[in-house]
Structure 1
Amino acid sequence: MESFTYEKLVENYNAQRAERFAYIDFVLRFLGGLNRSDLLDFFGIGEAAASKEIAEYKKLSANNVDYDRVLRKNVILRESFKPLIDIDAETALEMLASGFNKNKLYSRPMLPYQRIGATPHHLNTDFVSKVTRAIYSQTAIRCNYISGNSRNHGERTLLPTAFFYDGQSWMFRAFHREPTKGKGNFKCFDFSRLANVNEAPNDVASPPETLPQDTDWQLVVPLQLTLHPSLSSSKVDTLTQEFGLNKGQREFVITEKAVLVYYLKKHWKIDVNDIPNREGNYNFHLKNSDSLKHLHCMENVFKFP
């Protein structure tokens, strides 16, 4: 199968059809399957036009897709799939979060742009697609995970449920199924630490392993923050501007998923000590720590070196 850039696809067909082929390719790769209704809903075209575009895609990429009569949808052929248009994992995750956008497939920015601090080790798009397909189908993956706080790098069975961006890294939430039947818990995992990812499409998540049962993900907590007393007046002015505070305002309240407060603490430099630590490098102090410490998922938030 010939591989295309998006520009080449536009050149060979036209902008309208190129976008449709790219969309089919993207949905197959990262969600695992699609129906004519997906094209109808996204592009507002009729059933005949949707069928025609899927049929033409199959001519371009015969080994990528087949129609599953049981599921009544076009599904990815995992063993032979080769993307019609290659796409990096970060861009794919951005579109999964905010919607398919043909403009992200072009290799030219609209204004001068440079990303700062991109890690030398880019995310493995194949691994990412296996996780996102598992999220969509509520099925398992088998993988190795290079954990930073555990020496257990053996094979794990994960049931991915959601993904998120913490400001620096793309991560996903999953139920970690322990070898003992019925045991396990929900945890957060970094896409970049995955190794040897294999799908288990026939291993469907049981109800306790699904996102609605992840109480820490569902729980939203208030964080009462105040500008840290150790800040210089110039730093106070800077944070006031950056966070949209009123002049003289030192306190504000935000809400966040309980399980994600750990990442917010790191990136916003939040001091969670009962009494503000004047020797640390902090932007904010958490004033309502007493009301949060009892939550199990806050264990890492209040863990001090």
Structure 2
Amino acid sequence: MDRELGLRRGVESRLEFIEFRLFWEGHVNRSDLVEVFGVSINQASTDLNRYLGLAEANMVYDKSARTYVRSSSFSPVFLKPDAGQYLAQLRSLSDGVIAADDGWIGSLPSFACAPTPARGVSPKILRATVTAIKRHEAIEVFYQSMSSPEPAWRWIEPHALVFDGFRWHARAHCPRSGAFKDFVLSRIAETRASKSTEAAGSADREWEEQVELKIAPHPELSAGQRKAIELDYGMEAGVTTITVRRALLYYALKRLGLDTDPAARRPQDQQIVLLNAAEIRSGERAGGTSEAEGAQYA
């Protein structure tokens, strides 16, 4: 919509912000634009008037409150309201990724997130890894492997970054073992050299292959409980499909609580089951890799 209107990106962002505030907060005024974007009062007025010109029915001016408020006929024009985006901002605030002034949420609701340990990824290590990925190079890293008592220098040939829901890894070919493995970024203490490499990410079979996980509510839950789980996971006809790279299958199953026998826990605790577990196991045998080996920790 914005591109079709021929608007500059900065203007687009401010119009999207106006709509974000109208949808989530119910009101927006010039000071909001000034505080978030650092524009002048005159520019903020221009933006609000531009929004009115493009979506006149979406807001009205409340003289007593001296602010624009969402109208009863509000219909988004510049963005699709996204609960995930709103909650992601709350999570980013909780993790200290962004400051309250940098987010688009005006009045924060009371909230809390379960804490996760801070991961000490060095900016220089991350930069070196990203550079190696972009340049298709190998880098020499001083790495602490859990299979060795002391850290050591070794070459890795990274082709992607991986987040397992807890830690960041470099997905890389390991010349020492001849296999693709996941190297935990926080365990790389130093880098000291780089060189060209013949290893290609396309040779990483587990990375290239997509696996579909067919998830359903635990059959031993009550009808009401199953319905709740269907809503939790956005299921249709009692099933949802999650697509994941086979290289991340180990992490995905563990995070979903599907890495153990579903009978090992109460249905109310297990909540979901993997309908195509046999198919996935068959695919692992065909590839010659087990779940644990598929993660290939270094």
1:186 and 2:180 are equivalent in the alignment: yes
Structure showing the higher helix proportion among its residues = 2
Residue pairs, 1:1-305, within 5 angstroms: 108-111=102-105, 112=108, 117-148=115-146, 151=149, 153-178=151-176, 184-200=178-194, 203-206=195-198, 209-229=199-219, 231=221, 236-246=226-236, 249-271=237-259, 273=261, 276-279=262-265, 281-293=269-281, 294=285, 295-300=287-292
Cα deviation for residue 116 of structure 1 reads 5.0
**SS state at 1:126 partner:** helix
Name the TM-score, length of structure 2 as normaliser. 0.54
Partner of 1:21: none
**SS state at 1:277 partner:** helix
The 8 Å contact of residues 212 and 244 in structure 2, kept in 1 or not, is answered as yes
Cα displacement string for residues 73-94 of structure 1 (whole angstroms, at most 9, x for unaligned residues):
xxxxxxxxxxxxxxxxxxxxxx
Distance 1:297 1:117 in 2: 33
The 8 Å contact of residues 265 and 301 in structure 1, kept in 2 or not, is answered as no
1:279 counterpart letter in structure 2: R
- Where do 5+ consecutive residues of structure 1 fail to align? 1-15, 17-103
Distance 1:270 1:241 in 2: 19
2:257 counterpart letter in structure 1: K
Distance 1:145 1:230 in 2: 46
Distance 2:243 2:119 in 1: 33
Distance 2:200 2:123 in 1: 24
C-alpha distance 222-157 of structure 1, shift in aligned 2 (>3 A)? same
C-alpha distance 121-255 of structure 1, shift in aligned 2 (>3 A)? closer
C-alpha distance 189-107 of structure 1, shift in aligned 2 (>3 A)? farther
C-alpha distance 106-302 of structure 1, shift in aligned 2 (>3 A)? closer
**SS state at 1:250 partner:** coil
The 8 Å contact of residues 258 and 273 in structure 2, kept in 1 or not, is answered as yes
Distance 1:158 1:105 in 2: 36
CA RMSD of aligned residues (A): 3.3
The 8 Å contact of residues 227 and 236 in structure 1, kept in 2 or not, is answered as yes
Distance 1:120 1:288 in 2: 35
1:277 counterpart letter in structure 2: A
Larger radius of gyration: 2
Cα deviation for residue 128 of structure 1 reads 0.6
C-alpha distance 223-197 of structure 1, shift in aligned 2 (>3 A)? same
Cα deviation for residue 264 of structure 1 reads 0.6
Distance 2:207 2:153 in 1: 25
The 8 Å contact of residues 217 and 238 in structure 2, kept in 1 or not, is answered as yes
1:204 counterpart letter in structure 2: S
Distance 1:210 1:264 in 2: 24
Name the TM-score, length of structure 1 as normaliser. 0.53
Distance 1:284 1:301 in 2: 24
